[in-house]
Amino acid sequence: MKKTWIFLSVLIVVAGLLAGCAEQAPTSTLDKIKQAGKVVVGTSADYPPYEYVDEVGNFTGFDIELMAEIAKRMGVDLEWVDMPFDSLIAAVQEGKIDMSISCFNYSEERDQQVDFSDPYYTSEDAFLVSESFTGTITEPADIVQYKIGVQSGTVQDDWVTTELIETGLMPESKLSRYERVDQAALDLQAGRIDVLVADSVPAQALIQQFGGFKIVYEAQLYTGPLNIVIPEGDQALRDEVNKIIKQLQDEGFIDQLALKYFSE
């Protein structure tokens, strides 16, 4: 009988420990982040001045500093994961990373897969060409007569595909997609493409980085407000990130970052 009571007592203790562990299991990505003491954020660090790697190998840029401040106000450490831009949405979906910041614009297609924070900044699109370019581009559809380059998975890729190729205005053979925007810039420099369609601010950064380029058209096509990508349906994390973004906007922190990285 004594052995039976001891056995039952052990079972009760074990059951209690298991129940305690179950109660402490994270119920949201925010809980997971808080318990781990760090947030794992994905980016494609090839898009200056938003996100890039400096000469000593450190992540830097507008989005990088913004996320560092968000992590600080969340009270956790920040771990970066650098990956191709078109892999970031899937990485958030699959739980490989907690969030992603990489000059993301909201789109209905993306919204079917992940959620978005409130906007933290607004951008435009640009057509980047060689300084020797003598063509005329007065409206977006004028680029159909040229060889075009885009970074794969971006809203610029989506715009060219949807508005120019799928409408029959140009064949897909005239479009080159690149994993990294600097690869596209090298092809533009070499004359393998005529027009690089990119976000306006990184396009200006490419002019500074490579030289010999100019912007011939600038407007909002598919771009606009920039958002942080978070897991689908994770309201707790979304609320926390939105609260901090609002604080940073109200305090002028984001305006100061824009002045630091975007002023000519």
**pLDDT per residue over 60-78, tens digit each?**
999 999 999 999 999 999 9
Summarize pLDDT for 154-212 with one digit per residue, the tens: 889 989 999 999 999 999 999 999 999 999 999 999 999 999 999 888 898 899 889 99
Query: So what's the architecture of 26-122+226-262 in CATH?
Result: 3-Layer(aba) Sandwich (3.40)
Q: Is pLDDT of 49 > 80?
A: yes
- Give the pLDDT score at 6: 46
pTM confidence score: 0.71
Domains of the chain by residue range? 26-122+226-262, 125-219
Listed range (82-91, 117-126, 244-253) with the worst mean pLDDT: 117-126
Mean pLDDT of the region 33-42: 97
Pick 153 or 248 by higher pLDDT: 248
Pick 207 or 8 by higher pLDDT: 207
- Give the pLDDT score at 12: 46
Summarize pLDDT for 218-244 with one digit per residue, the tens: 988 876 789 999 999 999 999 999 999
Q: Is pLDDT of 10 > 90?
A: no
Q: What is the DSSP string of the chain?
A: -HHHHHHHHHHHHHHHHHHHHHHHS-SSHHHHHHHHTEEEEEE--EETTTEEE-TTS-EESHHHHHHHHHHHHHTSEEEEEE--GGGHHHHHHTTSSSEEEEEEE--HHHHTT-EEPPP-EE--EEEEEETT-----SSGGGGGGS-EEEETTSHHHHHIIIIIITTTSS-GGGEEEESSHHHHHHHHHHTS-SEEEEEHHHHHHHHHHH-SEEEEEEE-SS--EEEEEE-TT-HHHHHHHHHHHHHHHHTTHHHHHHHHHH--
- Give the pLDDT score at 263: 58
Asked if the domains 26-122+226-262 and 125-219 are classified in one and the same CATH topology, the answer is yes
- Give the pLDDT score at 222: 75
Residues above pLDDT 90, as percent of the chain: 72
The class level of CATH for 125-219 reads alpha beta
Residue 216: CA atoms inside 13 Å, Cβ hemisphere, count? 22
